Structure 1
Amino acid sequence: MSIQLTILGCHSATPRANAFPTSQYLEINNSHFLIDCGEGTQRQMRKYKVGFSKINHIFISHLHGDHFYGLVGLLSTYGILNREKELHIYGPKGIKEVTLLQLKTSQSHAKYQLIFHELTSKESELIFEDDKVSVRTIPLKHRVYTNGYLFKEKEKPRKLNMLNISGYPEIDKADYLNIKAGKDIVLSTGKVVSNAELTLPPKKALSFAFCSDTCYKPDIVPIIKDTDLLYHEATFLAEREDLAKKTKHSTTIEAAKIAKAANVKQLIIGHYSGRYKDISIFKKEAEEIFENTNLAEPGKIFNV
């Protein structure tokens, strides 16, 4: 299991008794990320046993309250818990000012360092990378500047084909790292043993795309092409396409069309408008276009 996504909140606008605004916890290749932080996020983290201390990077899609009003509360809690490790926050320009003002005014002391990465580009860009995972922005179109995020595992090293390697007694364990790195082996006779003979292909690197509030935007398809897991907002049923256009949101059918065009493996839809009492209709409608559609629900876990 290389990807585990926990839905903390998946409804739009105002929180309700059993409906929480957007927030997700992503584990990918043993790295841990928080995506959006609507009101009540840290309570949901406690409820669903998400490890606070494992999160070192928080990604905020845009500065509408239902996507970041829980952030300052979480940061304050980190201070109370005496966090010392630095914390990176990625989001639109302005997130640093609004966050630090709240912390300053409330005199919320924090020993740990907050590092802000403010985004302004309307083109997809690489914003985080380490030896396990890379993260790119997915430029979206909403009423304010908004980005989705594409999380991709780094390609793993090739696997040793021990059956074939055993046929060359001259190859030593000391050669294994070079073989995994893709290098050929030159024997004492001068014979070159190709890396393809000595290795097996690694497991496919997996990916997750998060597309929060946005109107229908087909030009994101090349960015998320062949993604294993896609979350795409679907605030309205197809019958309210007029309202979706007016508010710059998407319908179930539009989210499904994006998933189909991008050839993703699995689609998750969420950000349901509060006008709907039965969200099962969302799934049925999206499945007309893209069969492997699932509903986001608080506490629901998706594994790849």
Structure 2
Amino acid sequence: MKKSSLTILGCHSSIPTNKFHPTSQVLEMKGFFFLIDCGEGTQVQLRKAKIKFNKIIHIFISHLHGDHFFGLIGLLSTFHLLGREKSVSIYAPKGLKEIIDVHFKWSYTKLKYCIDHIELSSKKLEKIMENEKIEIFSIPLKHRIYANGFLFREKPSNRKLNIKEIKKIPDIQIGDYPNLKLGKDFKTNNGRVIPNFQLTFDPPKILSYAFCSDTSFYLPIIEYIKYVDLLYHESTFLKTEENRAMKTGHSTANQAAYIAKRAKVKKLLLGHYSNRFPNIKEFEKEAKEIFFNVEASEPLKTYYL
């Protein structure tokens, strides 16, 4: 089974350069590809990462600052030029639909595919998408404008059949398999009850990923992201710039680490670095003073949950 993974396309803030790329990433989970934020140059980074455009059906935009969505119209235009027919769902704060509609109106472009806009406005944890394998929630953040993080969580899988043990019980027929996968015990023809754990294996562990950018140091999110396998939390500044972080609605590396520690997450990824700090390992070093399993995310690097 393919592992769930996160590919970082860009992890810097504000101004793109030849080395620094604004926020964008792709989460692959249970066979689905989710594009999270779409800073300028995202489609070029997608090509470098060898992620096929037609795999992207769901796009999540955290907020309407340009470094988190300026690449979106270009990407949507490229979808059109490539002859895409499959629809795209965009989960974003209210206002993005208007921005996109105005662009395509005045460029006289009639897209070959449909866009389903899911406008976000809740300031509470809210389930915004669900299918048979995954559920996705918006996480309220604290920034200069309305902003959301996102929580992606797998749904429980069925138990796996232990065929070797099953074959030892002649009464078990193929028609009994669905109930065994659901965790039900088996009752033989003579009335003996065989516990399910003797006939099946535990399902794979449920995995979860939380994306929290952009946000000030905001303790309420701890409750929403407890025990996630991977947390991406912005760390725009080092602690020497804590006052600047507070004024601009951002966090420092040690603040991100504190959130991770309190939430008891498995691993922390830092990102959204200010360009004033060229050495991203400084962020990692600072965060490790508080939380041990932390890494400074890098463009075009893939991390496994």
Specify the TM-score bucket, using the shorter chain as the normaliser: over 0.9
Is 1:53 the counterpart of 2:54? The answer is: yes
Structure-1 residue corresponding to 2:43: 42
Q: Aligned partners of 2:255, 2:243: CA distance in 1, in Å?
A: 12
- The aligned runs of 1:48-197 (5 Å cut-off) are 48-197=49-198
Residue 196 of structure 1: CA displacement?
Answer: 3.2
**Structure 2 counterpart SS, 1:99:** helix
Contact 1:82 1:110 in 2 (8 A): no
Q: Aligned partners of 1:49, 1:163: CA distance in 2, in Å?
A: 40
Contact 1:237 1:252 in 2 (8 A): yes
Q: Aligned partners of 2:256, 2:230: CA distance in 1, in Å?
A: 13
Q: Aligned partners of 2:224, 2:116: CA distance in 1, in Å?
A: 27
Structure-1 residue corresponding to 2:202: 201
How many percent identity over aligned positions?
A: 53
- Spell out, residue by residue over 1:26-77, the C-alpha distance to the aligned partner (whole angstroms, 9 max, x if none): 1011111100000110011111111100010000000000000111111010
Q: Aligned partners of 2:178, 2:265: CA distance in 1, in Å?
A: 34
Residue 219 of structure 1: CA displacement?
Answer: 1.1
Structure-1 residue corresponding to 2:33: 32
Residue 294 of structure 1: CA displacement?
Answer: 0.7
Q: TM-score, normalised by structure 2?
A: 0.97
Q: Aligned partners of 2:77, 2:197: CA distance in 1, in Å?
A: 52
Q: Aligned partners of 1:103, 1:184: CA distance in 2, in Å?
A: 58
Q: TM-score, normalised by structure 1?
A: 0.97
- Spell out, residue by residue over 1:122-150, the C-alpha distance to the aligned partner (whole angstroms, 9 max, x if none): 00011111112111111100001000001
Q: Aligned partners of 1:201, 1:117: CA distance in 2, in Å?
A: 36
**Structure 1 counterpart SS, 2:7:** strand
Structure-2 residue corresponding to 1:279: 280
RMSD of the alignment, in Å?
Answer: 1.2
Q: Aligned partners of 1:194, 1:103: CA distance in 2, in Å?
A: 60
Contact 1:60 1:92 in 2 (8 A): yes
Residue 5 of structure 1: CA displacement?
Answer: 0.8
- The aligned runs of 1:237-252 (5 Å cut-off) are 237-252=238-253
Contact 1:2 1:30 in 2 (8 A): no
Q: Aligned partners of 1:221, 1:93: CA distance in 2, in Å?
A: 25
Q: Aligned partners of 2:60, 2:214: CA distance in 1, in Å?
A: 14
**Structure 1 counterpart SS, 2:9:** strand
Structure-1 residue corresponding to 2:216: 215
More displaced 10-residue stretch of structure 1: 66-75 or 195-204: 195-204
Structure-2 residue corresponding to 1:262: 263
Q: Aligned partners of 2:197, 2:44: CA distance in 1, in Å?
A: 50
Q: Aligned partners of 2:29, 2:259: CA distance in 1, in Å?
A: 23
**Structure 1 counterpart SS, 2:38:** coil
Residue 177 of structure 1: CA displacement?
Answer: 1.6
Residue 163 of structure 1: CA displacement?
Answer: 4.0
Is 1:5 the counterpart of 2:6? The answer is: yes
Is 1:19 the counterpart of 2:35? The answer is: no
Q: Aligned partners of 1:197, 1:126: CA distance in 2, in Å?
A: 36
More displaced 10-residue stretch of structure 1: 12-21 or 100-109: 100-109
Q: Aligned partners of 2:223, 2:168: CA distance in 1, in Å?
A: 44
Structure-1 residue corresponding to 2:229: 228
**Structure 1 counterpart SS, 2:287:** helix
Q: Aligned partners of 1:293, 1:108: CA distance in 2, in Å?
A: 45
Contact 1:2 1:206 in 2 (8 A): no
Q: Aligned partners of 2:25, 2:149: CA distance in 1, in Å?
A: 13
